[in-house]
């Protein structure tokens, strides 16, 4: 499999598969896994795996009896997907990246992926800053919550801080 060089650790890139169904041979390693085994390994429900297959993100191979099976490369791709989902990538974004890894490296592909990753890095940075604000608010609120007199004294400051976070949310600067 040829990997697209987008400045990401090559071990991560190698976890992606092409859209073509292939069978990989691993000496001494298990070659195929059932959907049940994959759910145990990845924590993804079987319905999610079927949905990813329907969407063309991960293509399970089929045995003669029609049962799905997955290989080591599929496990790597699924782990990659779990990490990307945790990082806030949409399924459409994940699919667009995963589809490019089956292609020969090209400048257009690299630029597309680079742009998407840079955008996500910026989004995650904003998200981290906003969550830091919330953590600060919670920390400031703890001593006040248990003491009504303290709350009355700091109520305006807390309301102002909450108002700032609220304004960020309304302006779209607060990323979930």
HSE-CB for 54 with a 13 A CA cutoff: 6
Q: What is the largest CA-CA distance in the chain?
A: 73
Q: Are residues 95 and 123 in the same domain?
A: no
Confidence of residue 63 (pLDDT cuts 50, 70, 90): very high
pLDDT at 62 over 80: yes
- What pLDDT, on the 0 to 100 scale, is given for residue 22? 34
1: in domain: no
pLDDT at 112 over 90: no
State the total domains in the chain: 2
Q: Are residues 100 and 124 in the same domain?
A: no
- What pLDDT, on the 0 to 100 scale, is given for residue 10? 35
Q: Are residues 17 and 84 in the same domain?
A: yes
Asked whether the beta carbons of 97 and 15 are under 8 A apart, the reply is no
Helix ranges, 29-106 (H): 35-42, 46-54, 72-86, 91-100
In terms of Cβ atoms closer than 10 Å to its own Cβ (0-12, 13-18, 19+), residue 49 is: buried
89: in domain: yes
Structure-block tokens of residue 118: 């840079």
Asked whether the beta carbons of 112 and 72 are under 8 A apart, the reply is no
User: Which tens digit of pLDDT belongs to each residue from 64-92?
Assistant: 999 999 999 889 889 989 999 999 999 99
- What pLDDT, on the 0 to 100 scale, is given for residue 21? 32
Chain centroid to Cα 8, Å, comes to 15
145: in domain: yes
- What pLDDT, on the 0 to 100 scale, is given for residue 155? 72
Structure-block tokens of residue 39: 């759910």
Asked whether the beta carbons of 112 and 98 are under 8 A apart, the reply is no
**Residue-range definition of the domain harbouring residue 44:** 10-105
Asked whether the beta carbons of 168 and 130 are under 8 A apart, the reply is yes
For the chain, percent of residues with pLDDT exceeding 90: 32
For the chain, percent of residues with pLDDT exceeding 70: 72
User: Which tens digit of pLDDT belongs to each residue from 132-150?
Assistant: 988 888 787 777 666 666 6
45-49, 70-74, 152-156: lowest mean pLDDT where?
152-156
134: in domain: yes
- What pLDDT, on the 0 to 100 scale, is given for residue 151? 63
- What pLDDT, on the 0 to 100 scale, is given for residue 26? 38
- What pLDDT, on the 0 to 100 scale, is given for residue 16? 34
CATH number of the domain bearing residue 89: 1.10.1660.10
- What pLDDT, on the 0 to 100 scale, is given for residue 98? 78
């Amino acid at each position: 499999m040829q990997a697209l060089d987008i400045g990401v650790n090559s071990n991560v890139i190698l976890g992606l598969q092409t859209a073509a169904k292939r069978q990989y041979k691993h000496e001494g390693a298990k070659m195929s896994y059932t959907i049940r085994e994959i759910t145990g390994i990845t924590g993804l429900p079987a319905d999610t795996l079927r949905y990813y297959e329907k969407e063309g993100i991960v293509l399970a191979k089929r045995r003669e009896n029609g049962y799905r099976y997955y290989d080591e490369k599929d496990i790597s791709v699924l782990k990659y997907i779990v990490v990307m989902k945790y990082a806030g990538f949409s399924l459409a974004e994940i699919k667009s990246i995963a589809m490019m890894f089956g292609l020969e490296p090209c400048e257009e592909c690299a630029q597309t992926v680079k742009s998407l990753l840079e955008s996500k890095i910026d989004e995650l940075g904003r998200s981290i800053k906003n969550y830091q604000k919330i953590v600060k608010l919670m920390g400031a609120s703890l001593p006040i919550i248990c003491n009504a007199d303290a709350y009355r004294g700091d109520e305006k400051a807390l309301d102002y801080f909450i108002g700032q976070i609220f304004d960020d949310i309304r302006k779209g600067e607060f990323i979930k």
